[in-house]
């Protein structure tokens, strides 16, 4: 990778994370990176290709970290807690506009779905997640959460995306009932 290509990537990432993808033009990227449009087109056919490159690199990093946590010798709730902490940190530097822009890309959904089923079925095989709950049903719920993210609906409920992640983890994996409520249930 050349120095100029690295400049383009770093500049675009900084601008996209701060302002979202839709608000940043190719001209702005080139000006801030100190390169011409000719130089840009030497590496990328258009701005969207650069966005997908950055998104895929971030996704690879996310999957790599997710796999590291999944392979650790600890309980599933501990893994979920670590994953949530990592996701909060990962998303903390991203504007809501960037998150919405990137999560609205349709090709991303297939990659996430494939990984999702692998993780859920593996956790069910290890008896960390109830086998009687269909992975397909879990995915349908996850899809609705994905829609909330891509449409920005989460912003009306919580102050930032990291907090949204933490509250969704609590709701999805711990449920609505308090410990007191579950102790008072009769078998």
- Please indicate, yes or no, if residue 49 is contained in any of the structural domains: no
| 63 and 26 together in one domain | no
Q: What is the DSSP letter of 157?
A: T
CB 14 within 8 A of CB 24: no
| 61 and 131 together in one domain | yes
- Please indicate, yes or no, if residue 33 is contained in any of the structural domains: yes
| 174 and 107 together in one domain | yes
Task: Give the total number of structural domains in the chain.
Answer: 2
Range of the domain at 160: 56-183
Q: Which residues contact 62 (CB under 8 A, 6 or more apart)?
A: 90
- Please indicate, yes or no, if residue 14 is contained in any of the structural domains: yes
- In order along its 187 residues, the chain shows pLDDT tens digits of 899 999 999 999 999 999 989 899 999 999 999 999 999 999 999 999 999 899 889 888 888 888 898 888 888 788 888 888 888 788 777 887 887 777 666 667 777 788 888 888 888 898 888 889 899 998 898 888 878 877 888 888 887 887 888 888 888 877 766 666 666 655 5
Angstrom distance (rounded) from CA 173 to CA 185:
19
3-state secondary structure of 187: coil
| 103 and 169 together in one domain | yes
- Please indicate, yes or no, if residue 97 is contained in any of the structural domains: yes
Angstrom distance (rounded) from CA 66 to CA 39:
35
CATH of residue 20: 1.10.10.60
| 82 and 170 together in one domain | yes
| 116 and 140 together in one domain | yes
- Please indicate, yes or no, if residue 51 is contained in any of the structural domains: no
| 63 and 122 together in one domain | yes
Residue 148: CB atoms within 10 Å: 17
Angstrom distance (rounded) from CA 173 to CA 75:
13
| 7 and 72 together in one domain | no
| 60 and 34 together in one domain | no
| 23 and 111 together in one domain | no
pTM: 0.70
| 74 and 165 together in one domain | yes
Q: Give whole-number Cα distances, 94 to 50, 58, 79, 142, 171, in Å.
A: 17, 12, 23, 21, 23
- Please indicate, yes or no, if residue 138 is contained in any of the structural domains: yes
Nearest alpha-carbon partner for 101 in 10, 6, 15, 180: 15
């Amino acid at each position: 990778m050349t120095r100029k290509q690295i400049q383009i990537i770093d500049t675009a990432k900084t601008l996209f994370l701060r302002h979202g993808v839709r608000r940043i033009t190719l001209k702005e990227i080139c000006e801030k990176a100190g390169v011409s449009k000719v130089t840009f087109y030497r590496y990328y056919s258009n701005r969207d290709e650069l966005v997908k490159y950055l998104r895929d690199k971030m996704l690879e990093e996310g999957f790599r970290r997710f796999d590291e946590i999944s392979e650790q010798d600890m309980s599933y709730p501990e893994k979920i807690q670590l994953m949530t902490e990592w996701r909060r940190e990962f998303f903390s530097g991203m504007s809501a506009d960037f998150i919405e822009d990137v999560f609205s890309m349709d090709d991303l959904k297939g990659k996430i779905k494939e990984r999702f089923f692998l993780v859920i079925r593996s956790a069910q095989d290890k008896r960390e997640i109830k086998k009687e709950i269909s992975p397909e049903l879990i995915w349908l719920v996850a899809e609705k959460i994905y829609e909330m993210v891509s449409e920005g609906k989460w912003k009306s409920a919580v102050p930032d995306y990291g907090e949204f992640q933490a509250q969704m983890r609590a709701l999805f994996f711990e449920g609505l009932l308090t410990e007191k409520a579950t102790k008072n249930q009769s078998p």
